[in-house]
Amino acid sequence: MNKIIFGLVGTLASGKEETKKYLVSKYNAQDCRFSTILREVLNRAAIPVSRENLQKISTVLRSNFGEDLLAKAIAVDASKLNADIVVIDGVRRPTDIEHLNKLPNFFLIKIDADPRVRYDRSVIRNENEGDDKKTFEEFINDHESEADSLIPVVMKEAKYSIDNNGTKEDLYKQIDNIVEELLQK
């Protein structure tokens, strides 16, 4: 099989980033992330990289240049990468998978964990400004934002599923099983 392209979809703090890091570390995968473009715009404009600002810039770009703007850019980026495995983090809209499904050997992986587990991870990692100060209720409310509201719909399209309620070793074993299955094809 030629290049394998994984798209990761999952609820907030479900383990997408850890999955990506593992694929990069163990399998020398190269990665793309939907939010990278948005983070670059915010950083360039000296605007704080918060969840709210990421959502705002995404909405502005998509409403002015098309809902599929980011999906088209990521699909092009992924196809250009010279790696046996490419991992795309942050798939969250049906328009994302419309473009990604056109790529040869694209496989969508759903990653999920219980809300309390994900909340604890979110606070610890503090990826976006203010994450470490959020209450559990605020964290749950984040799932209803425009940026995250379609994730459950996209998750239903996944070919593979990972339950990330266990240890990192449990997560890695599930990833290894998926990779091994695809490499045997």
Q: Which residue has the tokens 């990653």?
A: 111
Amino acid present at 101: N
Q: What pLDDT was estimated at residue 1?
A: 58
Q: What pLDDT was estimated at residue 115?
A: 94
Number of domains present in the structure of the chain: 1
Between 133 and 145, the more confident residue is 133
Structure tokens at 113: 């964990």
Residues 95-130 have pLDDT tens digits of 999 999 999 999 999 999 999 999 999 988 887 777
Residue 26 sits in a domain whose CATH number is 3.40.50.300
Return the percentage of the chain with pLDDT > 90, whole number: 76
Q: Which residue has the tokens 């570390």?
A: 25
Domain extent at residue 48? 4-183
DSSP state, 8? E
pTM, two decimals, is: 0.87
Other CB atoms within a 10 A radius of the CB of residue 24 amount to 15
| Model confidence at 132: pLDDT above 80 | yes
